[in-house]
Amino acid sequence: MELPRLVGWAKGHRDLVVIVSLLFLFAAIDLLWNTPKDVVEAWFSVPLLAIAFLLLALLFWPTAKPGPRPAGDTLAHRLLWWATWQGRLVPAFPLFGILLIVGDFAYNRGLSSAPSFGEHDFVVIFLGLGLIAYRFVPRRYERERDFVLLFLAALFMILVVPLLIARIIIGDLTQSVDLYSSVALAPETAGVLSALGIPASVVYETGNTSPGLAFTTAAGLSVRVYITTSCSGIYSTAIFAAAFAAFVLTEQRRLTARVAAFFALGVFFAYVANILRMVSGLFLEVGRSVAKLLSQDAAGPFLLTHICNRNVQRKKVDWLPNVRWTESIDELLASDTDVFVELVGGVEPPGTWIRQALQAGKSVVTANKLLIADQGPELLELARKVGRRLEFGASVAGGIPAIIAIQEGLAGDRLHKIAGILNGTCNYILTQMEAHGASFESALKEAQRLGFAEADPRDDVEGFDARAKLIILTLVGLRLRVRSEQIPCRPVYSVAAIDFAYARELNCTIRQISLATREPGDGVRLFASVQPALVPLSSLIAHVQGSHNLVVATGEFAGPILLSGYGAGGDPTAVAVVSDLHSIARAGGAAPSFPERPLQVPSSVSGEFTVPHYLRLVVRDRPGIVAEVAAILSRHGISIDALLQKPGYPHSALPFIITLESCSSTVLQRALEEITRFDFHVEPPLCLPIYLD
């Protein structure tokens, strides 16, 4: 059938065509919404969308004759007349609008590495709505209608089109690209900061789509801030430019040099204002760092006398005229200072410096979790012998006063359990996967882009960071000394989006749980681990979001005590450091006059827990798989609680889960070693404990 006859038939059966196209459209949307994007069936939405838009295209196919010429003669009239093929495309505006909205929705569900709606998506959606509504606005509101459409189209050209071009150039449509940050924000902001005396440079890291702005605080600390388009205020410049352009087009008959100059100056000053806004914000951040490091309260008990760092000539500022800047640690140790604050990190050389400072008669404050976890008991014993204090409240959970709350507030209780969420990076990644259905890889990239994760996130995602903090809490709260190699860690990257879907079916979520339990017996036994686990939604731990931390200390008399807040970051950590300084000042710098409960070395340290478990398998489907798995579990005395299998997955990679009644994790591991030998596995089974408060 020839195209004109096909178009004529579609227009003659308008109601039928609309109903059929909507059926195909809604079927495609249902597939996109309810089917995970890594499942083959999700791609059936593509032909359904194609059929729906083909039918709608026939319905709105432009006629060969030009449309009615606009009555006015403004720039907007001439532009729209030219851009719509002399009005022929105006009847198809609703189709274009629907195509934009559904296309953006399909991209977020099908391709995007972080399927969530942002500023760019709202621009696309509003432009689509504007196109749909364009034909239905009365002619007496023609000017307002044209202004809105041109404003939204200009925003689309400024914010969305460059992003699409950048993705096409790098050859990855799934990748987030902070184009304006890399080109027009970070380099200019770094230049202005450097001109103001704050050395700054732009750094790019693998895995980060946003550039980092590295600069040095007045206290000599290196800081890195990730510059993103959404945080910079660049959208206000884009809105101004789009609104100005739409106004000129709808009000002017021709573009004069004066109007063009006003437009250029307006965009320039709006852009410069955003750069200065960012510079002033970072400048104030530097001032806050100085204030937080002991210099804001001139009448207070602390006087900052020395700062030791590398390249101090480049980092010195005139805000601290009475501070001695040095690159020599020996000069600082030989000074008459009362307290030595170590904020470098790592086991060595900070361990040597702290010993030298204590032996020189100085009390010490540190935020060094690796050092305290590795050498904490020895350093505390040295501090006791020389009559000085060693405070390390900032080494665990940042701004949460976990250490001092356990040492002082719970000193009258006998704690037997420490648990919680001790790593903000992992918690941010897992909550992103929970909220948006993102993969681990895309959630990690987002965490790196926002500065929540390091370029090398191994210590976080493998559980090593949380383990160091758990060792310190075990030392302080349970009065037990353990070594890092005694506490098993399991990584969080084995958790997938499908696990959150199944967890919801069980009224649970997934978090990285650090747990240490002291049990009496023939000697003291310690059960401890750091691993991802299912957490019932009835537990407060399940509702810790983003980069927050939570510590639960359970005692014999007071029961569970919860402490929650920001676990990392400059401001929270600085609060903990200054709080430790106040603790030293209240004691006059002397060692505690009362004896602490002696440390014990547990007779055994084990990661074995007897709890319910979650077992997820991805298999090439065939009859008898469940029976074979159940036979092995039964042979090891493990009872099945339930079996769940969600529909919509291909038989070539079919996921299903088995929940198990309480069983020993050691016994279950032996059963899993047998189960993994079967040839039906597409990927290794995932086994997670179900955490019970």
- Mean pLDDT of the 4-32 span: 70
pLDDT of residue 33 exceeding 70, the answer is no
Of 574, 529, 568, the C-alpha closest to 548 is: 568
pLDDT tens digits along 121-151: 778 888 888 888 887 888 778 888 888 888 8
Q: Same domain for 203 and 145?
A: no
Judgement on whether residues 161 and 260 belong to the same structural domain of the protein: no
> What pLDDT shows up at residue 300?
58
Which residue is catalytic, options 315, 362, 417, 469?
469
Least confident window among 195-209, 544-558, 634-648, 652-666: 195-209
Q: Given the DSSP bridges, would you call strands 559-566 and 604-606 parallel, antiparallel or unpaired?
A: unpaired
Mean of pLDDT over the chain: 77
pLDDT at residue 585 is higher than 90? no
Alpha helices by DSSP H, 111-177:
119-134, 142-155, 161-170
- The reply to whether 87 and 234 lie within a common domain is no
Residue 373 within a domain: no
Report field, pTM of the whole predicted structure over 0.85? no
Q: Partners of 224 in the beta sheet?
A: 214
Omega before residue 349 within 30° of 0, cis = yes
**Number of helices followed by number of strands (H, E) in the chain:** 26, 18
Non-local CB neighbours of 195 within 8 Å, separated by 6+ positions? none
Query: Which residue type, as a one-letter code, is found at position 605?
Result: V
CA–CA dist 292, 32 (Å, integer)? 50
What ranges in 534-682 are assigned the alpha helix state H? 570-586, 625-635, 665-675
Q: Which of 559, 543, 452, 560 is nearest to 551 (CA)?
A: 560
Beta strands at 212-216 and 525-536: parallel, antiparallel or unpaired: unpaired
Assess whether 525 and 578 both reside in one domain: yes
Torsions phi, psi for 218 (to 5 deg)? -65, -25
Task: Examine the pLDDT at 665 and tell me if it is beyond 80.
Answer: yes
Query: Which tokens in the block code for residue 168?
Result: 């096409």
* Domain co-membership, 583 together with 600: yes
Of 138, 170, 202, at which residue does a domain stop? 170
pLDDT at residue 207 in the model: 45
Average confidence (pLDDT) over 524-549: 89
Q: Which CATH number belongs to the domain containing residue 672 in this structure?
A: 3.30.70.260
Q: Are residues 128 and 109 in the same domain?
A: yes
**Does a structural domain hold residue 232?**
yes
Q: What pLDDT is attached to residue 219?
A: 41
Q: Are residues 536 and 618 in the same domain?
A: no
Instruction: Identify residue 651 by its one-letter amino acid code.
Output: H
Of 119, 144, 170, which residue is a domain's last?
170
* Per-residue pLDDT tens over the stretch 152-175: 888 888 877 777 777 666 655 555
pLDDT for 229 equals: 55
> Percent of the chain having pLDDT more than 70?
71
Pair (124, 146) in one structural domain: yes
In terms of domains, do 559 and 462 share one? Answer: yes
Give the number of domains in the chain: 4
User: Given 292, 308, 337, which residue is the final one in a domain?
Assistant: 292
Closest CA to 92 of 117, 55, 56, 119: 56
- pLDDT for the residue 615: 93
Q: Is 37 among the residues known to form the active site?
A: no
Q: Are residues 503 and 455 in the same domain?
A: yes
pLDDT of residue 631: 92
Instruction: Give the pLDDT of residue 605.
Output: 85
pLDDT digits (tens, 9 = 90+) for 288-301: 343 344 556 555 56
Segment 632-642 shows an average pLDDT of 91
Task: Assess if residue 392 is contained within a domain.
Answer: no
Residue 42 reports pLDDT greater than 60: no
Band the pLDDT of 242: cuts 50, 70, 90.
confident
Residue 495: is it exposed, middle or buried by C-beta count within 10 angstroms (0-12/13-18/19+)? Answer: buried
Confidence class for position 536, pLDDT limits 50, 70, 90: very high
Let me know whether 503 and 585 are in one domain: yes
The CATH number covering residue 486 comes to: 3.30.360.10
**What average pLDDT does range 680-685 have in this prediction?**
89
Alpha helix ranges (H) inside 476-600: 497-505, 570-586
Question: Quick check: is 148 in a domain?
Answer: yes
Q: Nearest to residue 179, comparing CAs of 160, 163, 190?
A: 163
Structural domain boundaries enclosing 498: 403-606
